[in-house]
């Protein structure tokens, strides 16, 4: 049994350690909340971050043929090559903080053979077109969930205790919008945004296509059915990986809209997963804020980012380092020989006399 489930005094010990640091109560704000969450998840008042990784799941979507993206489907494969070469946004941000980036081929439609360096969990050259059929069969959904779990068990460094989740796939904000609307009941119009840059008539077309998809399948019974109807391979594999990361006591770093849609599916399957999840940022996609609200999640950053790739995880990671380091390295009042304040008493005390 994990320590935090057996140790009923853990929350009190965490609060006492944080409150006894040389600072006014709550003076480090949300860093204190983050530190407490990490301590609680790890079952200790001496938290540690080890061998951080970001796993990026890449796949194509049949729905991209319906004109729901500003970019052609070929960009998925091209950007995968860019990530492998170290030239993408996630690579730059991850290098700053010593984070390993891994790239999973969940179902990219390659014009040629897959380049070396990707993790092979290929399910086919993209999902089906959700406008004319289902994106995935039930069997494919199960294979994807198992493949994602296998990435955690067989690919991620066993010493790694904090994993960021990112994605790559032209058309995947459409799948995410349908998943979020289907699993939360939020109006589809509130969940659909520009994705890779649609504006004006292009955005209206995207919404029209997604409304037609939803009209065919308005009410999925559960997360598995929603994944099958709306896709995609990378989202389902991310969902499976998140569940396994939670089961193996890794901290989960959740990126933007698409990664949060995958998390929503994982949370629908097991709500306890949220205890170990850190939501890294609020993206520029309008649906992201709404699904975060549905989950009761408050992201660490709000920078208007909407790149995907796990870039928000890399940007937010230094805040986790700060939260862990202040718990482990900041002196307590006793250690520093600093007198503790009594804010309530001080607030009610008479002011000192003025100089004559």
Catalytically annotated residues:
309
Inter-CA distances, 347 with 135, 235, 342, 343, 351, Å: 62, 52, 9, 6, 10
d(CA 269, CA 185): 17
Retrieve residue 59's tokens: 């796949």
Within the chain, where are the H helices? 3-6, 10-19, 30-42, 74-84, 89-96, 138-154, 172-184, 188-191, 200-216, 223-230, 233-247, 257-269, 286-295, 311-329, 333-336, 343-348
- For residue 51, count other CB atoms closer than 10 A to its CB: 15
Closest CA to 113 of 59, 167, 77: 77
d(CA 106, CA 225): 19
How far, rounded to the nearest angstrom, does the alpha carbon of residue 210 sit from its chain's CA centroid?
24
Closest CA to 250 of 51, 106, 98: 51
Q: For the chain, what's the residue count?
A: 356
- Residue 168, classed as helix, strand or coil, is strand
- Residue 247, classed as helix, strand or coil, is helix
d(CA 312, CA 306): 9
Q: Work out whether the CA dihedral 115, 118, 120, 125 comes out positive or negative.
A: negative
DSSP 8-state symbol, 157: -
59: left (phi > 0), else alpha (psi -120 to 50), else beta? beta
What are the beta bridge partners of residue 332?
A: 21
């Amino acid at each position: 049994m994990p320590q935090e489930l057996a140790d009923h005094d853990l929350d009190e010990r965490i609060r006492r350690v944080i409150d006894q640091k040389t600072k006014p109560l709550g003076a480090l704000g949300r860093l204190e909340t983050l530190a407490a969450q990490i301590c609680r998840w790890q079952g200790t008042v001496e938290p540690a971050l080890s061998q951080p990784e970001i796993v990026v799941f890449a796949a194509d979507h049949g729905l991209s043929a319906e004109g729901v993206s500003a970019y052609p489907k070929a960009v998925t494969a091209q950007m995968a090559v860019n990530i492998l070469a170290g030239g993408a946004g996630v690579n730059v941000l991850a290098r700053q903080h010593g984070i390993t980036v891994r790239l999973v081929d969940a179902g990219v439609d390659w014009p040629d053979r897959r380049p070396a360096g990707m993790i092979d969990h290929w399910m086919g050259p993209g999902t089906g077109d959700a406008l004319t059929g289902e994106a995935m069969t039930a069997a494919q959904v199960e294979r994807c969930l198992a493949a994602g779990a296998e990435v955690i068990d067989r690919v991620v460094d066993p010493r790694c205790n904090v994993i960021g989740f990112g994605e790559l796939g032209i058309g995947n904000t459409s799948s995410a919008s349908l998943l979020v609307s289907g699993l939360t009941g939020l109006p589809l119009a509130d969940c659909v945004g520009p994705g890779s840059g649609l504006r004006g008539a292009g955005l209206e077309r995207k919404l029209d296509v997604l409304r037609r998809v939803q009209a065919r399948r308005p009410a999925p019974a559960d997360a598995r059915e929603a994944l099958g109807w709306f896709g995609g391979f990378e989202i389902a594999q991310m969902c499976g990986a998140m569940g396994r990361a939670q089961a193996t006591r890794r901290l989960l770093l959740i990126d933007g809209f698409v990664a949060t849609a995958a998390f929503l599916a994982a949370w629908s399957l097991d709500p306890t997963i949220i205890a170990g999840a850190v939501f890294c940022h609020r993206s520029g996609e309008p649906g992201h804020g709404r699904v975060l609200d549905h989950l009761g999640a408050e992201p660490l950053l709000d920078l208007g980012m909407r790149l995907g790739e796990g870039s928000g995880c890399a940007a937010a990671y230094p805040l986790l380092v700060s939260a862990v380091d202040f718990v482990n390295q900041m002196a307590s009042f006793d250690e520093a020989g600093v007198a503790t304040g009594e804010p309530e008493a001080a607030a009610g005390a008479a002011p000192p006399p003025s100089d004559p």
